[in-house]
Structure 1
Amino acid sequence: MNDHETTEPGQTGHGAALVPAAADGQETLPASLVTDPDHFANPGLPPHVHRAADDNPAAARRAERQVATMFGLSMLFTLVFLVSYFAIPDEATFFLPGIGRAKTQNVVLGLSLGFAIFLIGIGAVHWAKTLMSDVEMVEERHAQASTLEQRAKAVATVNEGVASTQVNRRPLIKYSLGGALGLFALPLGLQVAGSLGPVNVEELKHTIWDPKDNGGKPIRLMRDPEMTPIRLDEVTNGSVFHVMPETLQKYLDEGKGVLEAKAKAAVILMRLDPDLITVPKARDWGVDGVLAYSKICTHVGCAVGLYEQQTHHLLCPCHQSTFDVTQDCKVIFGPARRPLPQLKITVDDAGYLVAPQGFMEPVGPSFWERAR
């Protein structure tokens, strides 16, 4: 502090207008920096910049045509979706670099639907950027409750907003937008009506483990995805195999219906001490402690692929439904409401594991069989 500067008790600073220090000795701000919190300087609005379409009718018409073109292209892609849904065969595929072989219908449906909604979006954005009102507006906060006059004013404001979009003045945009949105709703209805129903419950119950699909002969258990047969002596205590039926090979050779067949036929095979199996039926349907169960969770159909060797529990990773293999895959935890269906297995003359019959109950989610 300089010799000519003095400070009164309770004040701080170097000769400036000061505010008394707080009672606890903490310094406070100078009086020149203290402002009234109820009043702030109004910064105002920046100068409004007019767009080309605001002053030039030709530019406005050009923007209108551009927006309508985007909506029109959206309608075209929606029509491509609808035609492709019926015209492209389910088995048609092509090679996609970096991905592999893909179903032609899936790719076309995805791209056409994506472009349809994308064009509606960018058309709406271009419409707002070029033709809708962009005048800056300020609305002061006020009490939540409104009077009748204020409500009427709000309705008038909405009507003014609709008018500012110029949708009534530009029928080309109005009708092209209506057509794009109207057509875009058709694929959604088509997916619901054509893909989700009606449901044939008997078809859902049938799997390719049925010996009828193999000329009445027992079906060999095959490693997935190698599709090689499994010998009984290859299944050691605590080991786990992911299994598909031998009849799947026909679908693989033909290249169609593979995913549908695998979705219901997936099986998990494991071996444990036969003395640990507490349910006689489960023991009888296995071979020397080797048991086969559906891999499809009875909750919502996820793949039950996690086997705890020490506890002999099967765990569904989706919602943690847990099945006890020693109790015929009884549900001991989680949202599943019934055990995993067991596949009866035996050994053929060559020592390979085979299934002499299909599943005796529906595989997958319990809603296929509501009474249980």
Structure 2
Amino acid sequence: MSSETGPSKDVSEEHLPSERVSHGAVEPAGDPFADPGLPPHEHRRQDIDERAAKSSERTVALLFVVSMLATIGFIASFVAIPVDRITYIWPMGNISALNFALGMTLGISLFCIGAGAVHWARTLMSDEEHVQERHPIEATPETKAQVLSDFRMGAAESQFGRRKLIRNTMFGALALVPLSGVVLLRDLGPLPEDKLRHTPWEKGKLLINQNTHEPLRAEDVTVGSLTFAVPEGLEHDDPHYMEELAKAALMLVRLEPEDIKDKRELDWSHEGIVAFSKICTHVGCPISLYEQQTHHVLCPCHQSTFDLSDGARVIFGPAGHPLPQLRIGVNSEGYLEALDDFKEPVGPSFWERG
């Protein structure tokens, strides 16, 4: 029986894998994971048909013009639509007409700028891909020159100078969009002047229990309790009720007179009943947590803590000022009343507070 060292005769030579020997190992002749490279570049319709390019140019310009009109609509809506107007819009139901108009116009304005830029890039700017090998971070003079050359070539290929209609309408859209933000600054004025320094409290106004809506007597405020009050005449049906309440909200605590450390606080109290603003001097949260043993009140938002036995000074937290105190007394009928307005602005600190 004879032996053969070559391939079996019943297997065709052309079906066997080609092999090469390298350092004693057998490896395939070709790399199966080789980079195939970029596919052949295919021209778009706009690259070869000027009519199609003009059509794309008009589409981009139209999107920019719509953006400008939407920005103008945003400004007009902000000026013309009352803030309290409610309208029915399917399927959302009853919503604020002003919020809907502002949202729609600003959304359309920004969308059209983005859509115009995308359509411009996809149809008119050069879409030919170029592969550049990675290079060191520090660029060589040749690389810098190449970048400048590529930039100039990109500017030329974008047809920014040639497509004047696109360029001018894009500038118009970009110039008008910031006006949306400028118009919103109207809500920051007019200047408050001295409005932050005055509240509905004044001499002779009764302290009304915020829960029972009845005038408070001294005996209604007991040791260890925290009572909330509003000024007489502040009604729920007042369109400015919440604005006035934000400045006039009051909390009352009865302390033993000998526990009061601040002399002015003692002079402004009645039989140990002290009245302080309920509005935290940090960011304006309502204070509602009272600890009888320490006479401390805590703001639940950022844990600013005030000592009501020592002029409501800040003993912990980010608040920058003590709580303003309201001077109180009793009238001839035994009801608690204010003897003046707050001497300091209530609520958060501001740069002109002094």
* Range of TM-score over shorter length: 0.7 to 0.9
Residues 39-84 of structure 1, C-alpha deviations (whole Å, 9 max, x = no match):
x843423455654444444443333333322222222222122223
**In the alignment, which residue of structure 2 is the partner of 1:340?**
323
1:339, distance to aligned residue in structure 2 (A): 0.8
1:126, distance to aligned residue in structure 2 (A): 3.1
**In the alignment, which residue of structure 2 is the partner of 1:278?**
261
Q: 2:343 is aligned with what amino acid?
A: M
**In the alignment, which residue of structure 1 is the partner of 2:216?**
231
1:303, distance to aligned residue in structure 2 (A): 0.9
Gaps of 5+ in 2: 1-24, 28-32
Of 91, 94, 108, the residue aligned with 2:86 is 94
1:218, distance to aligned residue in structure 2 (A): 0.9
Higher mean Cα deviation, 113-122 or 348-357? 348-357
**In the alignment, which residue of structure 2 is the partner of 1:220?**
207
Q: How many residues align?
A: 322
**In the alignment, which residue of structure 1 is the partner of 2:344?**
361
Of 38, 42, 50, the residue aligned with 1:45 is 38
Taking structure 1 as the reference length, the TM-score comes to 0.71
CA contact (8 A) 1:227 1:244 kept: no
Of 229, 245, 248, the residue aligned with 2:231 is 245
Counterparts of residues 1-372 of structure 1 (less than 5 Å): 41-46=34-39, 48=41, 50-90=43-83, 92-94=84-86, 104-192=97-185, 194-197=186-189, 199-210=191-202, 217-223=204-210, 228-229=213-214, 231-232=216-217, 233-249=219-235, 252-253=236-237, 255=239, 257-299=240-282, 301-309=283-291, 311-348=294-331, 353-369=336-352, 371=354
**In the aligned structure 2, how far is the partner of 1:248 from the partner of 1:100?**
33
Q: Whose Rg is larger?
A: 2
**In the alignment, which residue of structure 2 is the partner of 1:20?**
none
1:278, distance to aligned residue in structure 2 (A): 1.9
1:285, distance to aligned residue in structure 2 (A): 2.9
**In the aligned structure 2, how far is the partner of 1:51 from the partner of 1:238?**
82
**In the aligned structure 1, how far is the partner of 2:334 from the partner of 2:72?**
57
Q: 1:335 is aligned with what amino acid?
A: P
**In the aligned structure 1, how far is the partner of 2:230 from the partner of 2:26?**
83
CA contact (8 A) 1:221 1:354 kept: no
- SS of the counterpart of 1:326? coil
- Residues 307 and 144 (structure 1), Cα distance of their counterparts in 2 relative to 1, 3 Å cut: same
**In the aligned structure 2, how far is the partner of 1:364 from the partner of 1:99?**
36
- Residues 95 and 330 (structure 1), Cα distance of their counterparts in 2 relative to 1, 3 Å cut: farther
Residues 276-314 of structure 1, C-alpha deviations (whole Å, 9 max, x = no match):
332232234344544332233333x33142424254333
Residues 243-281 of structure 1, C-alpha deviations (whole Å, 9 max, x = no match):
4434432xx5353x4454344333344455554332232
**In the alignment, which residue of structure 1 is the partner of 2:15?**
none
1:341, distance to aligned residue in structure 2 (A): 0.9
- Residues 311 and 177 (structure 1), Cα distance of their counterparts in 2 relative to 1, 3 Å cut: farther
**In the aligned structure 2, how far is the partner of 1:356 from the partner of 1:168?**
74
**In the aligned structure 2, how far is the partner of 1:55 from the partner of 1:43?**
28
- SS of the counterpart of 1:85? helix
Q: 1:365 is aligned with what amino acid?
A: P
Q: 1:323 is aligned with what amino acid?
A: F
Over the residues paired in the alignment, what is the CA RMSD in angstroms? 3.6
CA contact (8 A) 1:362 1:369 kept: no
**In the aligned structure 1, how far is the partner of 2:115 from the partner of 2:138?**
37
- SS of the counterpart of 2:350? helix
**In the aligned structure 2, how far is the partner of 1:282 from the partner of 1:260?**
27
**In the aligned structure 1, how far is the partner of 2:229 from the partner of 2:50?**
70
1:117, distance to aligned residue in structure 2 (A): 2.4
1:360, distance to aligned residue in structure 2 (A): 1.0
CA contact (8 A) 1:219 1:356 kept: no
